Amino acid sequence: MAYSVTLNGPGPWGFRLQGGKDFNMPLTISRITPGSKAAQSQMNQGDLVVAIDGVNTDSMTHLEAQNKIKSASHNLSLTLQNTLPLKDPHVDSASPVYQAVLKTQNKPEDESEDWSRRSANLQSKSFRILAQMTGTDFYVSLFYEYIWLLFCHKKTLKYFLLSFGILKTAPAPVHSYTPANTEPASRPPWVTDDSFSQKFAPGKTTTTVTKHILPRAPARGTVQRAERFPASSRTPLCGHCNSIIRGPFLVAMGRSWHPEEFNCAYCKTSLADMCFVEEQNSVYCERCYEQFFAPTCARCHTKIMGEVMHALRQTWHTSCFVCAACKMPFGNSLFHMEDGEPYCEKDYIALFSTKCHGCDFPVEAGDKFIEALGHTWHDTCFICAVCHVNLEGQPFYSKKDKPLCKKHAHAINV
């Protein structure tokens, strides 16, 4: 039966939680501090927490629920549900677990004993099996208390027992438990595999990542040559006729070929022992490629076989597109145009850029500058030679080609 409780703030509230989505257990009240705000309300130890401040807890982890409670500064509203084990038609009423819990609920409250002293007598055969399987006899009392809190939530209990191999699935709705002589195949891996704890030790990586490096496709116009292979037990498919090759074969462009079918797409010349160029998923001899496909270099006006440089809306040999000053190829470097000629950055600055008289660095496009004393200055470099105050927009004097402020206009040592 669900009910609501409102605790007046601020905290502490005086209760502890257990469970959560990350534990595959519903959130429950595990402890209530005597004399606290929780103890003065209707809350009971073992009650399920259905909602916190109106937010459903079904999808909350333990930490998220704690943070939600901590964020309540004035009042804390909880929706709780009693955990009385109502008889369910889908639960086996003859189960030792059900009978043990039912007996304890029918006892008067003043006659109830400490749960830790009674847990050994109330443990069912299933939990003795679990203790024997996992070697955790010492913790069975605490474990039994958790199962008692979850008894009314048969789906969670079923999932928990299934994960430990105690409960077997069957078409009938009645839960069936495995006998003590369970087959090793149905036991959990941490029981049957001695090395299980080592495989999942903290800090140990269990995922193997294999890095595959794809072969780089040749650039357009690259001259290639097929590779010959003798006859063997290997029978690849021909890239031309898609038939099995029995005998010697060629390998080119990642595929296999009959030697007599690897020919130029235009002149039909055999390319078994000749260089070829791939173009538009077809192969051509060098002569046909140069005649029909190869671009022309803008500098030397010859056909480009191999890597092509595209610049200034033209095509170039990589060795032909060079700096007009130092004659070094640009490659993929930055270049500047001046009077229709390309220059590398170093030569362009040396030949054409205006340098600041103050710092000797170039005044680039977009920089604020000042022209004074026959020179060009960055606006931040035009300063008094003595006190270094900025003179932009101020009256100034000069001595030995250096700007001076009014205060130091008559300075001797400049």
- Residues 159, 100: one domain? yes
Tens of pLDDT, residue by residue over 2-22, are 888 888 877 788 888 888 888
The answer as to whether 207 is a domain residue is no
373: left (phi over 0), alpha (psi -120 to 50) or beta: left
The answer as to whether 39 is a domain residue is yes
The answer as to whether 91 is a domain residue is no
Tell me the three state secondary structure of residue 218. coil
Phi, psi of 192 (to 5 degrees): -85, -25
The pLDDT-based confidence of 297 (bands split at 50, 70, 90) is very high
The pLDDT-based confidence of 139 (bands split at 50, 70, 90) is low
- Residues 170, 230: one domain? no
User: Per the confidence metrics, is the pTM higher than 0.85?
Assistant: no
Q: What residues contact residue 62 under an 8 Å CB cut-off, 6+ apart?
A: 17, 18, 19, 20, 22, 23, 27
- Residues 282, 338: one domain? no
Mean pLDDT of the chain: 76
CATH number of 336's domain: 2.10.110.10
Is residue 142 scored above 70 in pLDDT?
no
CATH number of 15's domain: 2.30.42.10
- Residues 54, 141: one domain? no
Among 268, 292, 316, identify where a domain stops: 292
pLDDT of residue 115: 44
| Contact criterion met (CB below 8 Å) for 83 and 133 | no
| Contact criterion met (CB below 8 Å) for 278 and 309 | no
CA distances from 271 to 79, 242, 280, 283 (A): 82, 18, 17, 9
- Residues 262, 278: one domain? yes
Closest CA to 317 of 219, 193, 204: 219
pLDDT of residue 326: 92
The helix (H) or strand (E) run that includes residue 188 is none
Is residue 316 scored above 50 in pLDDT?
yes
The answer as to whether 135 is a domain residue is yes
What's the number of domains the chain is made of? 5
pLDDT of residue 354: 81
Residue 232 class from Cβ within 10 Å (0-12 exposed, 13-18 middle, 19+ buried)? exposed
- Residues 336, 358: one domain? no
Among 193, 215, 245, identify where a domain stops: 193
The answer as to whether 206 is a domain residue is no
Which domain does 59 fall in, by range? 2-81
Task: Return the higher-pLDDT residue of 379 and 106.
Answer: 379
Percent share of the chain, pLDDT over 90: 14
- Residues 121, 61: one domain? no
- Residues 372, 358: one domain? yes
Cα separation, 137 vs 202, in Å, equals 25
Cα separation, 124 vs 80, in Å, equals 28
Token pair in block for residue 108: 């008067």
- Residues 128, 112: one domain? yes
The answer as to whether 303 is a domain residue is no
Tens of pLDDT, residue by residue over 203-241, are 665 555 545 454 555 667 788 899 999 988 888 999 999
pLDDT of residue 86: 45
Among 54, 81, 108, identify where a domain stops: 81
- Residues 247, 324: one domain? no
Is residue 48 scored above 90 in pLDDT?
no
- Residues 147, 64: one domain? no
Percent share of the chain, pLDDT over 70: 67
The pLDDT-based confidence of 268 (bands split at 50, 70, 90) is very high
- Residues 52, 136: one domain? no
pLDDT of residue 251: 93
The answer as to whether 216 is a domain residue is no
Cα separation, 171 vs 126, in Å, equals 21
| Contact criterion met (CB below 8 Å) for 206 and 200 | yes
Is residue 267 scored above 70 in pLDDT?
yes
Tens of pLDDT, residue by residue over 377-412, are 888 888 988 888 888 888 888 888 888 888 887 776
Tens of pLDDT, residue by residue over 343-379, are 998 888 888 778 888 888 887 767 788 888 888 888 8
Is residue 256 scored above 90 in pLDDT?
yes
Token pair in block for residue 113: 């004993």
Q: What residues contact residue 330 under an 8 Å CB cut-off, 6+ apart?
A: 309, 311, 321, 322, 323, 342, 344
The answer as to whether 121 is a domain residue is yes
